[in-house]
Amino acid sequence: MDNDDGMKYSEIMQVNFPRGKIVPAKESSYLILADNHPEIHAIVQELSSQSIPFLLVSNLVIKPSETKKLLKIFGSVDLLRGWIQRRSLRLDGQNFRIIRVLIALEILIKVANQLQLFVFSNYLTSIYKFFYRKKTSRIIAKFKGKAILVSEAIEIESKPDKRLITIAFHGSPNLVNQMILRAKDHWKNWSDSEKLLDASNTAIEHADHIIALSNFSASGFESSPNSQRQVHVIPIGGINLNHDGQLMIRSWPEVKTFLYLGRLSLAKGLPVFVESAESFSGCAQFIAAGNLVSPIPGWPEIASSNSALRFELAPSTDRVKELFRTSHFYISPSYYEGFGIAAIEAMSFGCIPILSKYSAAPEILANSGLEKFIFDPEMENSLHSVIDQILNLTSVDLQVLSEVAIVLSKKFSFNLFAQNFVRKLYEEFD
């Protein structure tokens, strides 16, 4: 799929834009309404580095002056250290303002999710959305700048008179719901564990421009009734990366490890992963690491019935990196994926990616030799066939593929995403 100016996705990925200072007039400043997505953090930091004034309205972001103090107090606790680092902004100068809203409520929601109090968490989330919408509506009404940037989760009461740019992390709600329904139909005993998205997404409905992260996620907007809206594809990168980026000689034991990292849910393909673990019990080890955000049917039995399958709930940042470092393959069996951040992270450590086609996998792995490990989670035995194929490769072949994965991972970064976004902000969005 081409983007709107005729440039191929792969060409966008490889462009490097100059980082010279751009100092727009005061009236050209931007309002950013966002949750804690790393894409937003990258954009904010790029705007700051180019001395572009902006106002950020978010929940639990941490200012530069606060990061050191918090790390000094809580840095010895691995889980808290990672949490602080993920929310810390690295900003230059004084050309920005940050308004933090509903911090206590956001913390309560996080705690409820960690304790698996899902009904309580959903109740708190509905309260949060109501008050956040009221607060941001007042800010939008008073904003005198040029454009407004929002993440897809933000609710907009009415279309603002300023240009609205929405980052669709997951893609079109209609496409996501279509894929969830297909997963529910296939895995009927898991059906109640996954809820549909609210199809009336106001941030997307009112957008003048939508930023999608892959061709797959962009495809859901093609049949939109909003013919004036433009959709742009800008790929992102990873968070928990192997920053050394060195090619390494890995050991390839007879029993190899397959890792899944992410939300433990139906839509993310957890039953596909579990089924594969059952099929290859005895000749491979499977690890599913991530967070439970809704009850899973038969969870105790699933978690304990197969010795080849291990679950790790809410792993810390350091533990995630250790899993990447010690695993041989990374599996993403999702029924939908806006991009696939964890896949890039795993690849940076040399994990060989085995990815669902419902993601950015076709673009990430194109013409690399790794594209043959893309599979269809809806097709019976599709993942099984790929695993069977890969387990029959020699150690030499696996080492070559591992090194290719590391090289590919370096082509994707949040910095490059932010640079591409800011370039479009001036050339097309304004």
Per-residue pLDDT reduced to its tens digit, 223-263: 555 557 889 999 998 877 876 656 677 889 999 999 999 99
Beta bridge partners, 258, equal 286, 329
What pLDDT is recorded for position 28?
45
- DSSP-derived letter for residue 257 is E
- For the entire predicted model, the pTM comes to 0.85
More confident residue, 17 or 218: 218
Element counts in the chain: helices (H) and strands (E) = 17, 12
Average pLDDT over residues 123-147: 86
Q: What is the mean pLDDT of the chain?
A: 83
Q: Lowest-pLDDT range, 145-154, 170-179, 191-200?
A: 191-200
Domains of the chain and CATH, by start: 9-236+413-429 (3.40.50.2000), 256-409 (3.40.50.2000)
Distance CA 131, CA 120 (A): 17
Q: Which two tokens stand for residue 398?
A: 């696996």
Element (H, E) at 51: none
Task: Return the higher-pLDDT residue of 342 and 63.
Answer: 342
One-letter identity of residue 5: D
Beta-bridge mates of residue 311: 288
* Mean pLDDT of all residues in 327-352: 96
Nearest alpha carbon to residue 409 among 333, 351, 322, 337: 351
* Residue 192, token pair as written in the block: 């109640």
Q: Note the pLDDT of residue 242.
A: 79
